[in-house]
Structures are given as structure tokens and as C-alpha cells.
Amino acid sequence: MSSTEPTELRHTALDALHRSLGATMTDFAGWDMPLRYGSERDEHLAVRTKAGLFDLSHMGEITVTGPQAAALLNHALVGNIASVGVGRARYTMICQADGGILDDLIVYRLAETEYMVVANASNAQVVLDALTKRAEGFDAEVRDDRDAYALIAVQGPESPGILKSLTDADLDGLKYYAGLPGTVAGVPALIARTGYTGEDGFELFVKPEHAVQLWQALTEAGEGVGLVPCGLSCRDTLRLEAGMPLYGHELTTALTPFDAGLGRVVKFEKEGDFVGREALAEAASRAEQNPPRVLVGLIAEGRRVPRAGYPVVAGGAVIGEVTSGAPSPTLGKPIAIAYVDAAHAAPGTEGVGVDIRGSHEPYQVVALPFYKRQK
């Protein structure tokens, strides 16, 4: 079907490798990305029990440097970025002046005055533009580094062992949400203990010209322990089981972090003004007085799968909306994340269903996440 493919799709440094592995490719945010190599269910279970290898080169890296890099990020984002130690990472958000979420981000502090902001592929340009605009008046530089990095993730319980065989870096000393520069399989890399699967794992930021060498070394190192290449399809079911929000589904410009149940990422106590402060303060007090819809987990009793946008119902009335849904390979049942009215949000609430193309299928309300790894 190559004749109908739009020519402007971007390809990662690993594109030829994916094709040689027989990947089914998909257009994701303008990138031609692997959806799956074989069975997405097998890939999912490999990450839960052994290890999986992901190409995440579509993610958007933006470098912020300069004497006022910390001050700029504190102004531009809702988190307290100045308090992040060198070598650590933080989950945060960038909001509009009206408090609406522009994107969720991970910010790594690489040095005293150097940060790497990682945006979702679909929002990378929006985030870059916003940061560039918000940098006016600050002694800091915002640099588009999307082409400077390939990103490879190795996730799953076997991932520390796999990586240890390829690097001298102190992985035991590397905490969750931290990153350190090192060499992996002879390739310079920023080694981060982060991920989006609910498992222990690492994300390796490398130069695109080193991506193939690194991928192959990881593949060989993981051969004996069940490492498999994994596509975006299982990445989505993994993050769904782990209860992690996805931009465009659980997070949108129509919601503030308080509406999304993530008000904790907004740090009003930090120094200086930040974009959205006033609107977010209002959103916080509104949420306190009049609880907004709550993000909950739903587990099917039957086998029909809820999809984003399907109404959640109780007593014949619509009480919410599904934001993400899929069959859960770990639970063996369909699951969903949904925003529901606070009155129906308590785990165990009776009589909740999802309208699946006209039929009200019974669902159990549970607290998120669906899956938590044993440490």
C-alpha cells in the first residue's frame, strides 16, 4: 500500500531495521512507526515478564540552556523545575494561560544550567513554540533537538540485567526518574531510568547514527532472557494497565491538571509567576468546592471492549466518558480509563456500565492503576 502513503511521513533512524523485522507500521503523529512486530499481546506479556525493546525516536526533545534556564522553565511549566537536582527527572505539564493542558512532559536536568524537555510527538512543535515564546526576556536558549536524538527504551524485569551487560554505568545507583550520561555498547548515551510501561526499565537517548548499533547490541544481549521488539500497540495497553494518562485521551487543552486529577504537579509555592497560575488557582478551588469528574478504572464483566468516547452510564443516564480502552492482556478482560461523575467514582460503585454501540455492558469501577509491579 506504499502508493497511498503520504510522502511527508517522517522515518526514524531504525526504520530499515523495523521493516527487516517485519513490523506492521503505522502513521503516528506524522511518523511512520512500528505498531507491532508480531502479536501485540505477546509483546505486552514479554514486557511484563521479561523485556521489550521500543523505538521511541518520535518523542520531541527540546534542550533549554543558559544562566536562567531554571527560571525560564519555572515560568513556562507548572512544576518546580528549579528544585530538580542535576541527574534527576520530573514529570510535569505545560499549560495555557487559561490552565488548559498543552502537554505532559518529562524534564531531565542534565547539568546546572542545562535541561532536556521531552514532549509527546504530537505536541512537540506546540511545546517548542510555547517555550520559545515564553523564553523572551530570560537569559536562556531553547533549542529544537528533535533531530539530535534517537530514543530506544528497554523495559521489563530483565532490562537491568540486559543493560548491565552493555555498560559500566552505575545502574544500581540510578534511581527511578533519574538519568546519567554513559556509554552503552560503545555508544554515548543519556541513560534514564524512566518509561511508560509500569515496569522497571530504561530510556536511552543517543545520536541517530548510533541507533542501529545500540538496538542490535540490546537485541543480542537480551536474546537469552526473552527480550522482544515491541510496537506502539503494546505500549498503549501497557500504559493503560499502569493507569498512565495519554495526551489527547486523558489530557487535553479542555482540562486543567486539577480536572485530570493531577493537581499535585502544579506547584503554587514556587518562586515567581508562571503561565496559567491565576487560572489554575481558580481551578484548584473550583475542584475543591465542586468535585469534577474523576478518572477511574473500569473492568469489564463481559468481553466487549470500550473505546475512547463511549458513554459511561448508570441508571439509564450518562455519567461519564471513556478516554482509553483495550483488552488487558494481564487481566484477561477489557479495561478502560474513564472520567465519571464524582458520585459514581468510588471503587465498587454498583450499576455502572459502558454503552458499547447501543448495548449497556456492565463494568466494575476500580481505582487506578489496574496493574502495579511487585518491587
Partner 1 sequence: MSNPQQLRYSKEHEWLSAADENGVATVGITEFAANALGDVVYAQLPEVGDTVTAGETCGELESTKSVSDLYSPVTGEIVAANQDVVDDPSLVNSAPFEGGWLFKVRVTEEPADLLSADEYTAQNAG
| Site residues, partner 1 (CB under 8 A) | 1, 3, 24, 35-36, 39-41, 233, 236-237, 303-305, 307, 326-327, 334, 357
CA distances (Å), origin 234, targets 42, 74, 283, 318: 9, 34, 34, 30
**288 appears as a binding residue in the annotation:** no
* Inter-residue contact 328 to 294 (CB < 8 Å): no
- Of residues 42 and 220, the one with the C-beta less far from partner 1: 42
Residue 364's Cβ-count burial label (10 Å; 0-12, 13-18, 19+) is: middle
Please, what is the minimum distance in Å from the beta carbon of residue 235 to partner 1? 11
Q: CA-CA distances (angstroms) from residue 275 to 66, 97, 140, 281?
A: 20, 5, 17, 11
Least gap, CB of 242 to partner 1 (angstroms): 16
Nearer to partner 1, 232 or 352 (CB): 232
How far is Cα 96 from Cα 275, in angstroms, rounded to an integer?
7
Q: How far is the CB of 363 from partner 1 (least distance, A)?
A: 15
Q: Which is nearer to partner 1, 38 or 66 (CB)?
A: 38
CB of 120 to partner 1, least distance (A): 18
Q: For partner 1, which is the closer residue by CB, 35 or 116?
A: 35
Nearer to partner 1, 357 or 375 (CB): 357
Q: What whole-number distance in Å separates Cα of residue 346 and Cα of residue 173?
A: 39
Distance CA 344, CA 332 (A): 24
- Residue 170 CB, shortest distance to partner 1, in Å, is 38
Distance CA 235, CA 203 (A): 14
Write out the binding residues.
203
Write out the binding residues for substrate.
203
